[in-house]
Amino acid sequence: MSRKPDQLAAVADYIENPSQLGENVEAVHAPTVPYASTAAARNAGNRLSEPESRWSESEYFELLNGEWSFCWAEAPSDVPERLGADANWDSIPVPSVWQLEGYDRPIYRNHALTWERIPEIETEPEPPNVPEEFNPVGTYRRTVDVPDDWDGARSNYLHFEGVKSAFFVWMDGEYVGYDQGSMTPSEFDVTEKLDPGGEHTITVQVFRFSDGSYLETQDMIRFSGIFRSVYLYSKPAVHLRDYFVRTSFDGAYEDATLTVDAELSADEARVDAERDDGWTLIGRLFDDAGDEVTTLRESVDLADGVETRLQTTVERPAQWSAEHPNLYDLVLELRGPDGTVREAIPQRVGFREFEIEDGQVLVNGEPVTFRGMNRHEHDPETGRTVPYERSLEEFRMLKRNNINAVRTSHYPNDLEIYELADELGMYVVDEANVETHFDMDFVHKAPTFHDSYFQRFERMVEHHKNFASIVAWSTSNEAGEGPPHEKMASYARDRDGTRFVYHQGSGPAPYDKYHENMTGTAPFTDVSGPRYPVPHTLVQHDAVDDRPLVMGEYGHALCNSLGLQDAYWELIREISGLQGGFIWEWCNQTLAGDAVPVADGEEWWIDDDPFLLDGTVFADLTPQPELRQVKKTQQPFTADAVSLEEGILTVTNHYDFTNLSAFDATWELAVDGAVVQSGVLDLDVPPGHERGVIVPLNHPDVDVGSVCHLTIRLELAEDTDWATAGHEIGFEQFEVPFDMPEPSPESPAEQPPIAVSETGSTIELRGDRFAYRFDADRGVFCEFEYDGDVVAIDGPLFGAFRAPLANEQHLDSDTEWGYDNASEWRALGLDDLRHELLDYSVKRPVPGAVRLIAESVALNPDGDALFDLRYRHEVFGNGAVTTTVDVDPTDTLRNTLESWLPRLGVQFDLPASFSSIEWFGRGPEETYPDRKTGSEIGRYAGGIDDQFVPYRVPSDNGNKTDVRWVSVTSEDVGVVVSGDQPLNVRLDQYENLASASRLEELVEKDGTTLFADVAVSGVGGTPVKPLPEYRVQPEPVSFSFDFHPFDAAADPSALAREQLPRELDANTADGDTPIEPPQTD
């Protein structure tokens, strides 16, 4: 090709031609940036630093990152005119994505082709063609000074780590080459185009869409540009072109064989007078202390070929695993016939061996469990261009939350990711950049693309083959199953053979069956990888498949979600062939300062539903509440009670290679959340074993109504690369059933008297410090006043609705993916219940107590009765109120409701002056019935504003489970609510939480609503619904709770334990003569 950047005649032959995968592109190989000596190679940079910073210490490396000149055009036809005007040129940072640099607009698609439904495109093209009227083109340009010593006896290469989607390159106006594939590197030999000591201009022209875009329909924001590093590097005329480092162990997994297969490049035109013989390849292996362990040496005669092998036995090397990422430094030296070092190339080496035996994946002979996470490369500020510091922090967070495996969903990542996995200890499933989710049968419909499928896989394998952390090669994601996948699998086994082959397809609905359609079970794979199975179906695995099972995707964490983790992991720990899986997904893919993407024609052109909001952390890496559950469920130890009163437990070690004695183990006994006893435990438990442990508990002094909890913790004993000493690995908590004092409630006769009056339809109950007003028309208290301050309004009022979760209002009718309970709940009118009072009575059993009974019915807007209700309020002279609510769902509701109820409980409106909350229950983060074990029961406090969880699709949030009592206060007064059983409690400060589609639409209310629920449905997942035991069914229920107003300085815990009179039922009957309140003017 000879075209210039402003000439377009032959472009379609490249960007719409599946057989044209690249031109003048070097075969992909492992990174081989050279240093002048072994010492220089070993001393370059910090091991926890981006590779480009270490390579920059080589005199043979020139990093081209930085500001480039840039010209953007909306379509190829606009390019000539755009390039011809200086005013159209600006500057842009490289690497970057141009959509976040002021050009073009982001498009989020879940599975469709990027250009589908874009208004500017009148006719959508057919494969392999791409849109003509809208296919943005970015032209980049910069100059580079070539070092004087990069002379003609050397080979010089221009290297692009990642460009999306397709691009052409020129040097000083001369055509260099073309490539596509986007997620693997492109390298061009520019030796003949570079002059040592000269200045040269590099021009790169990037097309947003190419035929390769048909294989790139991943669930992500579709960015474009030079998004990874660009550099030049120089090699000697005879140099190491590629190498493959492999390790294996003997039968005892003690001594290891280290093998290095190397390929030299010897361009005769550049070798000059060098002899063919006398060349030597040397491998020097250094341990972590810097001592040379062994030296490998092999003579090379170029006349006999350019391939050679180094091999030796290493006695008892420190083994690499995700738990113990021991690494060695290998430096490969190439020496010429004169004995001088021509280049030195460093490589970190981990001694490990991956095998599959008896239906299990083994690492170094031991079965392992993959506590995995699917991870996109994403930064809210820079998109697909992720700063190293963020990637490092992500991996540290992953490790701190008991995650030991990452799937590079759904494309090969930047090199730094694999280095971090090697260094910090993370198993990696490396996935090819192939997804045709827009048409899962595309692999059969378009065989002309098969070479492209395969090349993308081959490039990934060749570029990443030396990373110890990569345990598997994944042939694609949601791209069907066909001949190119089988070719990939064969290639991986022939070329590598040290990792297992994985595949992630996609199947039809329904998604709650197993193996009929759950994907990742292709016959050419070594490991079965089903997606989103219902937990109980995993039990069938052994009967239908003798391969190990590692779920490719599960636990879809869409907004407020991830309610099934305990159920999955109980089975994973029980059944040997189930070896974990990869949660979908790590991080929300939102952009800084941006709302949920909508097709507003400004910020976003088009989007596909909220599926980029399914992370366990927000885009800025702030943990979502789900992450706490992930950490707990996947923690590498568990404890079971044997005899809690005696402190006898059984502790199980779920580590694969680590004794629990390597950690600090402690215990503490808390009474009502306050620690009263503590100590240290000796947990000498080998990996995979369990042992009995005795905690030396003493019976504490307790009050009536107190609750005792024993908690044991496992913490890091030493600093690591990812956390400091004292970091908590995990905990187990038990309620200890110590003997408690017998309750001795006050007599009702001991309560101060209550005055009762009536004004219109308002009945007022007045005591020494309170005045409560009951609306006799509605059958509900309209105001609670304490010491002259209003502390609650309109309550307690029954309700059964919550602001629907994202999971509860998403159903793809074509695939039956997800479910849409919210539509049914709204159709039934659960969101708009009308309360009709049927009858009420006011009675005074004793002077210090008043009983109000209200019978009502909850109707929907159509007038259908959905719940029969009976409230029984017992008000005492000290201001305390005990309420019992009897709820009886009607036959209308039971016969109509096809799913389940969101919740059952009551609510109070609280004044705007209330700003603080304290509770005794699980915390401090949000919990739900099926996502709560990751949070300890304790005493927590915080601001009301801090309880809101900003899910980008507003929904029910901030729930707190197993709450014994909750208090909400202003600076002066407050209320405490405690139940006869643990409650679910949450706050709502917005008028429109249930109807807003974005956070920016929320409208604050004047005050706060406190919800106290006896039953709340779980959050489940997508597409797997909450398990039956976490669904609130339309069955009769009765529950009681106490309501205390109090001075803000008082202890709410003591009030909650206060024994209110419980003798009213024994001494009085509902049939007692009602109070005749005096009439007032």
User: In this structure, are strands 881-889 and 865-876 parallel, antiparallel, or unpaired?
Assistant: antiparallel
Report the DSSP beta bridge partners of residue 164: 225
Task: Please give the angle made by the CA atoms of 614, 616 and 622, to the nearest 5 degrees.
Answer: 120
Instruction: Read off φ and ψ for residue 452, nearest 5 degrees.
Output: -70, -45
pLDDT score of 1075: 58
- Closest C-alpha to 974, from 802, 756, 791: 791
How far is residue 228's CA from residue 249's CA, in Å, rounded to a whole number?
37
Q: pLDDT per residue over 419-474, tens digit each?
A: 999 999 999 999 999 999 999 999 999 999 999 999 999 999 999 999 999 999 99
243-247, 591-595, 784-788, 1034-1038: lowest mean pLDDT where?
591-595
How large is the average pLDDT for residues 299-326? 95
> Domain 238-354, what fold?
Immunoglobulin-like (2.60.40)
How far is residue 848's CA from residue 114's CA, in Å, rounded to a whole number?
72
Q: Which two tokens stand for residue 474?
A: 């994944």
Sort 63 into a burial class: Cβ within 10 Å, 0-12 / 13-18 / 19+.
Answer: middle
pLDDT band at 152 (very low <50, low <70, confident <90, very high): confident
Report the DSSP beta bridge partners of residue 883: 873, 1041
Question: Which H, E and C letters describe 783-850, residue by residue?
Answer: EEEECCEEEEEEEEEEECCCCCCHHHHEEECCCCEEECHHHHHHHHCHHHCEEEEEEEEEEEEECCEE
How far is residue 787's CA from residue 892's CA, in Å, rounded to a whole number?
44
Report the DSSP beta bridge partners of residue 442: none
Contact yes or no for 527/503 (Cβ under 8 A): no
Q: pLDDT per residue over 346-369, tens digit each?
A: 999 999 999 999 999 999 999 999
Q: pLDDT per residue over 193-241, tens digit each?
A: 999 999 999 999 999 999 999 999 999 999 999 999 999 999 999 999 9
State the Cα torsion 224-228-234-240 to the nearest 10°: -110
H/E stretch holding 167 reads strand 166-171
Place of tokens 């502790």: 651
Give this prediction's pTM. 0.96
How far is residue 645's CA from residue 832's CA, in Å, rounded to a whole number?
48
Q: What is the location of CATH 2.70.98.10 in the chain?
A: 796-1067
CATH of domain 637-735: 2.60.40.10
On the question of pLDDT at 598 being above 60, the answer is: no
How far is residue 404's CA from residue 395's CA, in Å, rounded to a whole number?
10
The maximal CA–CA distance of the chain, rounded, in angstroms, is: 120
How far is residue 568's CA from residue 1026's CA, in Å, rounded to a whole number?
12
DSSP-based three-state secondary structure for 687: coil
On the question of pLDDT at 595 being above 50, the answer is: no
> Domain 388-633, what fold?
TIM Barrel (3.20.20)
Contact yes or no for 685/660 (Cβ under 8 A): yes
- Chain centre to alpha carbon of residue 67: 33
Q: pLDDT per residue over 817-846, tens digit each?
A: 778 999 999 999 999 999 999 999 999 999
Q: Which two tokens stand for residue 1012?
A: 């106290």
Q: What is the location of CATH 3.20.20.80 in the chain?
A: 388-633
On the question of pLDDT at 628 being above 70, the answer is: yes
Contact yes or no for 764/773 (Cβ under 8 A): yes
b/e sequence 240-258, b meaning 16+ C-beta within 10 Å? bbbbbbbbebeeebeebeb
Instruction: Read off φ and ψ for residue 225, nearest 5 degrees.
Output: 125, -175
Q: What is the DSSP letter of 1041?
A: E
Q: In what order do the strands lie in the sheet with 307-314?
A: 238-249, 256-266, 307-314
- Closest C-alpha to 323, from 349, 359, 292, 350: 350
Residue type, position 273, single letter: A
Question: Which H, E and C letters describe 644-679, residue by residue?
Answer: HHHCEEEEEECCCCCCHHHEEEEEEEEECCEEEEEE
Q: What is the location of CATH 2.60.40.10 in the chain?
A: 238-354, 637-735
Side-chain half-sphere CA neighbours of 17 within 13 A: 13
Side-chain half-sphere CA neighbours of 750 within 13 A: 8
Tell me what percent of the residues of the chain surpass a pLDDT of 70. 94
Helix residue ranges per DSSP H, 208-272: 268-271
H/E stretch holding 757 reads strand 755-759
Contact yes or no for 900/1018 (Cβ under 8 A): no
Q: Which long-range contacts (CB under 8 A, 24 or more apart) does 658-663 make?
A: 658/323, 658/324, 658/687, 659/684, 659/685, 659/686, 659/687, 660/684, 660/685, 660/714, 661/685, 662/717, 663/714, 663/715, 663/716, 663/717, 663/729
Q: pLDDT per residue over 1032-1053, tens digit each?
A: 999 999 999 999 999 999 999 9
- The DSSP line for 59-73 is TTEEE--EEEEEEEE
- Closest C-alpha to 793, from 1021, 992, 1026, 1045: 1045
pLDDT score of 543: 79
Residue type, position 749, single letter: A
Sort 878 into a burial class: Cβ within 10 Å, 0-12 / 13-18 / 19+.
Answer: buried
User: In this structure, are strands 500-504 and 470-477 parallel, antiparallel, or unpaired?
Assistant: parallel
DSSP-based three-state secondary structure for 148: coil
- If you count DSSP H runs as helices and E runs as strands, how many of each does the chain have, helices first? 17, 57
Q: pLDDT per residue over 731-758, tens digit each?
A: 999 999 999 887 777 777 888 999 999 9
Q: pLDDT per residue over 420-433, tens digit each?
A: 999 999 999 999 99
User: In this structure, are strands 500-504 and 238-249 parallel, antiparallel, or unpaired?
Assistant: unpaired
Helix residue ranges per DSSP H, 56-158: 79-83
**Number of neighbours of residue 606 by Cβ within 10 angstroms:** 21
On the question of pLDDT at 515 being above 50, the answer is: no
Place of tokens 């036959």: 891
- What lies within 8 Å, CB to CB, of 12 at 6+ separation is none
pLDDT band at 816 (very low <50, low <70, confident <90, very high): low
CATH pick for 796-1067 out of 3.30.160.160, 2.60.40.10, 2.40.110.10, 2.70.98.10: 2.70.98.10
Instruction: Read off φ and ψ for residue 872, nearest 5 degrees.
Output: -130, 110
On the question of pLDDT at 1080 being above 50, the answer is: no
- The DSSP line for 873-890 is EEEETTS-EEEEEEEEE-
* Rounded alpha-carbon distances, angstroms, from residue 521 to 230, 524, 629, 1037: 38, 8, 28, 45
- Closest C-alpha to 134, from 72, 69, 205, 71: 72
- Chain centre to alpha carbon of residue 240: 40
pLDDT score of 513: 35
Higher pLDDT, 1058 or 914: 914
Place of tokens 């091991």: 47
State the Cα torsion 561-564-569-571 to the nearest 10°: -160
Q: pLDDT per residue over 909-963, tens digit each?
A: 999 999 999 999 999 999 999 999 999 999 999 999 999 999 999 999 999 999 9
- The DSSP line for 296-355 is EEEEE-GGG-SEEEEEEEESSPPBB-SSSB--EEEEEEEE-TTS-EEEEEEEEE-B--EE
pLDDT score of 178: 98
> Domain 12-236, what fold?
Jelly Rolls (2.60.120)
